[in-house]
Amino acid sequence: MSIPILWQDPFSLKPKPLFITGYFSSLDEGEKTILRNCGITAEFSETLFNYARFLKTLYPTQLKSKVEEWIQISGFDVATIQPVIILLVKTLILNGTTLQQFSLNGSFIDPEILYSLRQAGQYLSRLQALHLSLTTEVTGNGFLRIFSINTLSQLSLTFRSEYEPQVYDDLARIIHLQKRLERFWISGYSSTKLHGIIPALESQKKSLQEIILKNCVYNTEFEALKSCDNLETLRIRRSNINLSEIFNENISNLDIINSPEITTKDMRLILRKYGKSILKLKLQVYDGELLKNLVSLKEIGKFCPNITQLFIKRTKFSTQLIRLIGNLQKLQALLLWCDVDNIPKKELKERVIEFAEILPLTLQYLQLSGWLQPYLDIFLDHCKEPLKNLLTDQLKNKKNLVALKC
């Protein structure tokens, strides 16, 4: 039983990728000649199992990294690894594996690999998670139609440009086909035209639980998200989105990452109307003034009293921040990345003490990175006794307060 489990996702494992030789053992003489022409002269002995059949997860970055490491460990002099990757992926596809997670981008966007995918319907017949980087090769010649499956629970689309109308029709069709799509990610959707992809999600409104919008520009098409009855998580990254037009009362997890164009007015409207439903809140911007274009810490504390997880990056270690944390009496997880520059040492010590003393006893996870390191002893000395004991146990043999499970 252990062999099938270990070989489901070997490219994500940390040990040295010597397992790659197991895939090449089934190559015919012509394919071995391709390897020899690349500089790989090893002999591959027969294996007990056809390991390719056990593979369930395949992502380009992981595979490329492991192939590069395997070549280095083996001491081969290889000028380019792309022929090796093509041969390896074709071997995996044509040896009867049935994937559950697959990403078509990077090194996988090659005519030979795309052709092999067309020939092997079983390869994708049970796919659950799919990421598509929509390059010319992927969107051309009706290639998207090979994903005529209804098994996806997660779909991720990365846009590169504008496409022919048929491409958008094919993407909408993929969405409509699914029996239960739970997670949908879209990146680079900057078109101001309506192409039907987002409205297609209304067909999944009973199952959709998570939406990620990355590098997106708002248009009215996104308003279809408001009808998703079971949508719990909304993550917005580097996007200009009208929150009030897509938010609904079921959303309890909200991430806003590096999206300064979201207006204060829009954010306040959301917090006032839905703040009590928000349990997990994550906020981050690049410029170090986290809430300048969003909302004040005071307003978060006022409108979101039920927060259990709070992640804030790139904000000043202010008294307002400390008071906010002290008022969140249901807080279980806290991540803070604070700016302590330009705070006098005496005043900073006082804030550290106040911060340590107000941490709620409900806290189970704390991540502070290295910004508090110079004052770590002061911090621990002033924690409540139950928290101090738990934190101290986690700090044994650690140099930095990186991640503590309370």
| Per-residue model confidence as pLDDT tens digits over 284-303 | 865 544 455 556 788 888 89
* Residue 402: band (very low, low, confident or very high) from pLDDT cuts 50, 70, 90: very low
Q: Is 380 helix (H, G, I), strand (E, B) or coil?
A: helix
Q: What phi and psi values does residue 255 have, to the nearest 5 degrees?
A: -115, 130
User: How many CA atoms are closer than 13 Å to the CA of 28, on its beta-carbon side?
Assistant: 4
Q: Give the pLDDT mean for 200-227.
A: 94
Model confidence at 400: pLDDT above 50: no
Q: Give the pLDDT mean for 310-335.
A: 90
Model confidence at 23: pLDDT above 90: no
CA proximity to 84, closest of 63, 111, 105, 101: 63
Model confidence at 10: pLDDT above 50: yes
Q: In this predicted structure, what is the pLDDT of residue 397?
A: 43
Q: Is 283 helix (H, G, I), strand (E, B) or coil?
A: strand
Model confidence at 172: pLDDT above 90: yes
Q: In this predicted structure, what is the pLDDT of residue 286?
A: 57
**How much of the chain is helix, strand and coil, in % rounded to 5?**
45, 15, 40
Eight-state DSSP code of residue 374: G
What mean pLDDT is reported for the chain?
86
- Per the model's pLDDT, the better-predicted residue between 359 and 97 turns out to be 359
For the chain, domain boundaries: 1-108, 252-406
Q: In this predicted structure, what is the pLDDT of residue 328?
A: 92
Eight-state DSSP code of residue 146: G
In whole angstroms, what is the distance from residue 15 CA to residue 25 CA? Answer: 20
Model confidence at 394: pLDDT above 60: no
In whole angstroms, what is the distance from residue 231 CA to residue 69 CA? Answer: 41
Which segment of 70-84, 204-218, 341-355 scores lowest on mean pLDDT? 70-84
Q: In this predicted structure, what is the pLDDT of residue 26?
A: 75
Q: In this predicted structure, what is the pLDDT of residue 295?
A: 65
CB-based burial of residue 332 (10 Å sphere; 0-12 exposed, 13-18 middle, 19+ buried)? middle
Q: Is 268 helix (H, G, I), strand (E, B) or coil?
A: helix
Q: Is 367 helix (H, G, I), strand (E, B) or coil?
A: strand
Question: Is the distance from CB of 318 to CB of 348 less than 8 angstroms?
Answer: no
Which segment of 111-120, 137-146, 178-187 scores lowest on mean pLDDT? 111-120
In whole angstroms, what is the distance from residue 174 CA to residue 167 CA? Answer: 11
Question: Is the distance from CB of 71 to CB of 80 less than 8 angstroms?
Answer: no
The pLDDT > 90 percentage for the chain reads 39
Angle between helices 82-94 and 60-74 (to 10 degrees): 120
* Residues forming a β-bridge with 211: 184, 234
In whole angstroms, what is the distance from residue 379 CA to residue 303 CA? Answer: 29
Which segment of 53-57, 116-120, 249-253, 338-342 scores lowest on mean pLDDT? 116-120
Q: In this predicted structure, what is the pLDDT of residue 41?
A: 82
Q: Give the pLDDT mean for 240-247.
A: 91
Most confident range, picked from 85-99, 122-136, 255-269? 122-136
Residue 2's contacts (CB-CB under 8 Å, 6 or more residues apart) are none
One DSSP character per residue, 199-261 reads: GGGGGGTTT--EEEEES-B--GGGGGGGG-TT--EEEEES-B--GGGT--TT--EEEEES-TT
Please give the CATH topology (third level) of the domain spanning 252-406.
3.80.10
Eight-state DSSP code of residue 111: H
In whole angstroms, what is the distance from residue 132 CA to residue 248 CA? Answer: 28
| Per-residue model confidence as pLDDT tens digits over 323-366 | 999 999 999 999 988 888 889 999 999 999 999 999 999 998 88
The pLDDT > 70 percentage for the chain reads 91
* Residue 384: band (very low, low, confident or very high) from pLDDT cuts 50, 70, 90: confident
Helical (H) or strand (E) element with 67: helix 60-74
In whole angstroms, what is the distance from residue 39 CA to residue 146 CA? Answer: 34
pTM of the predicted model as reported, rounded to 2 decimal places: 0.86
Q: Is 113 helix (H, G, I), strand (E, B) or coil?
A: helix
CA proximity to 315, closest of 283, 294, 290: 290
Q: In this predicted structure, what is the pLDDT of residue 294?
A: 57
